Amino acid sequence: MLTKNQRQNKRLLRHLRIKAKISGTSERPRLSVYRSNIHIYAQIIDDNKGITLCSSSTLDKNLQIDIKSMKKIERAKAVGKILADNASKIGIRRVVFDRSGYKFHGRIKALAESARDNGLLF
């Protein structure tokens, strides 16, 4: 059985391997996801300019009211919806999805599907 530190190292290696293959451009920025035990964070990044175009997380003030009664997957869906709405306001429709080495299931999958349902294409 792997220890916590070994699991983190394996995830970081997967993250570096994925990030070496994908990169965000002005036409198609990168949607990067990070999750902790409680919260989930997502941001859309233009790697050419090195700037974050928009972001959303469970720590957003407009989500804090509803967050207490939600389960983790419902929180991830809400973050995906808000991120897609913020992206459409600044004119972003197509992105490259960066799962940051996490498996594509659970909260990561819920966030991605919610973002797709609300207008992001990837």
pLDDT tens digits, 22-74 = 988 889 999 999 999 999 999 999 999 999 999 999 999 888 877 778 999 99
Total number of domains constituting the chain: 1
- Flag whether 5 is in a domain: no
CA distance readout (Å), 64 to 13, 39, 112, 120 = 33, 11, 21, 24
pLDDT in tens, 2-26: 898 999 999 999 999 988 899 888 8
Confirm whether 12 is domain-assigned.
no
95: left (phi over 0), alpha (psi -120 to 50) or beta: beta
Using pLDDT thresholds of 50, 70 and 90, give the confidence band for residue 93.
Answer: very high
88 found inside a domain = yes
- pLDDT of 80: 97
- Does residue 24 belong to any structural domain of this protein? no
18 domain residue, yes or no? no
Q: Whole domain around residue 109: which residue ranges?
A: 30-117
Q: Would you state the pLDDT for residue 2?
A: 83
